Amino acid sequence: MARAAALAAASLVLAGCALLDQDGTGPVSVFDAEPGDCFLVPEEITAELTQLTGVGCAEPHDQEAYAVVEYTPAEGADGYPGDAVLKDFADGSCAAEFAPYVGVDYRDSSLFFTYLLPSVRSWEQGDDRSVTCFITTTGEPLVDSVEGSEL
């Protein structure tokens, strides 16, 4: 099961730090990425991802997970809602979660966000309803956590 990479910001997706190898790097399931985990952009962008590459947040990294938001389908809606519905949900939810994590409103920040959406397959086979939000830049890599940074 995998999540489709949303083509928001720079279409970047990353891996989590919470389940890293002893040397600070390692593959992490997309389902295990948690707020505060830092990631490198995959060398190859694909429609579905199963793993991300995590790094310590003190190391240069491209993204940092800052929220995992559960999508709740409308009453009686059992099937996959579609990419457009999930992207609208992710745009609003990730924007709303940005300020509490970074300390400044998204519109006033020098940072950007992107996200991972449930894929049709992970929705149908794995009951995946979560959107994972990531902070990113379009310039230099991040070299520390952005939590509370007011950047």
Assigned domain for 132 exists: yes
Strand 3-5, strand 63-70: pairing: unpaired
Q: What is the pLDDT of residue 99?
A: 98
Residue 8 domain-assigned (yes or no): yes
Q: Identify which has the larger pLDDT, 127 or 106.
A: 106
pLDDT digits (tens, 9 = 90+) for 71-85: 988 887 778 999 999
Residue 106 belongs to some domain of the structure: yes
In this prediction, residues 122-126 reach a mean pLDDT of 85
Q: How confident is the model at residue 13 (pLDDT cuts 50, 70, 90)?
A: very low
Is 108 a domain residue?
Answer: yes
In a domain, 144, yes or no: no
Give me the domain span that covers residue 40.
3-136
> If we measure between CA atoms, which residue out of 137, 142, 134, 129 comes closest to residue 72?
129
Residue 29 inside a domain? The answer is yes
Give the pTM.
0.80
Q: Flag whether 148 is in a domain.
A: no
pLDDT in tens, 19-67: 334 334 688 888 899 999 999 987 776 667 778 999 999 999 999 999 9
Instruction: State how many domains the chain has.
Output: 1
Could you tell me if residue 23 is inside a domain? yes
DSSP letters spanning 23-57: TSEEEEEGGG--TT-EEEPPSS--SEESEEEEE-T
